Structure 1
Amino acid sequence: MTEPTILHATFTAQPGQGDRVAALLHDFAEVVRAEEGTVVFDASRLADDPDRFFVYEVYRDDEAFRAHLAAPAGVPFNAELQTLIVEPSSQLTFLQRV
């Protein structure tokens, strides 16, 4: 059985951009959840720091994750996100189930 690809992404909105990032992420999440290989795409704001975002992602397998990366919606999302966050890009951490 193939293992799922699991990761989380974190990033911080620039001052005054938290609500705009949240709206962008909300719309993108709807698209990603509809992708055939997506198991979980859960986007959240930190309760004690609403400019910090946490996205938990699970894809059926590496092939589904690669398809997600190649999907057309990701290019405009990432381009706009980069202009709204403090970091140069989302900080990705890959996980393994235990």
Structure 2
Amino acid sequence: MSEPTILHATFTAQPGTGDRVAALLRDFAEVVRAEEGNIVFDATRLVDDPDRFFVYEVYRDEAAFQAHIAAPAGVPFNAALQELIVEPSSQLTFLRRL
């Protein structure tokens, strides 16, 4: 059995855009959760810094993650997100279960 692909993404909304980022992320989360290979897509906002976002994602395997990356919904989401965040893109950290 193959390993799941697990990662978290972090990013910071530009001043005044936090609620727009949250709405964009909420809509995208619904789409991702419907993908066949997605197991978890938890999008959260930091309590102490509501302009900071943390997304925890789990995909069945690497193929499911690659299908997620190639899915058509990701292109407009990432383009819109890039216009609203401080970083050039989401900062991804890949994880491995113990």
**Deviating runs (4+, > 3 A) in structure 1?**
none
1:17 aligns to 2:17 (yes or no): yes
- Return the offset for 1:62: 0.1
**2:87 is the counterpart of 1:87:** yes
Three-state SS of the structure 2 residue aligned to 1:49 is coil
Q: How many residues align?
A: 98
* Superposed displacement of residue 95, structure 1: 0.2
TM-score by length of 2: 1.00
- Mapped partners of 2:80, 2:27: distance in 1: 13
Structure with the bigger percentage of strand = 1
Name the CA distance, whole Å, in 1 between partners of 2:47 and 2:15.
Answer: 16
Q: Residues of 2 paired with 1:75 and 1:56: CA distance? A: 19
Counterpart of 1:52 in structure 2 is 52
Paired position in structure 1 for 2:66: 66
Q: Identical aligned pairs, as a percentage?
A: 85
CA shift digits 1:33-56 (9 cap, x unpaired): 000000000000001000000000
**1:35-50 to 2 correspondences below 5 Å:** 35-50=35-50
Q: Deviations over 1:45-95 (max 9, x none)?
A: 001000000000000000000000000000000000000000000000000
Q: How far apart, in 1, do the equivalents of 2:88 and 2:72 lie?
A: 21
State the distance in 2 between where 1:81 and 1:22 align: 10
Rounded Cα–Cα distance in structure 1 between residues aligned with 2:50 and 2:29: 18
Gaps of 5+ in 1: none
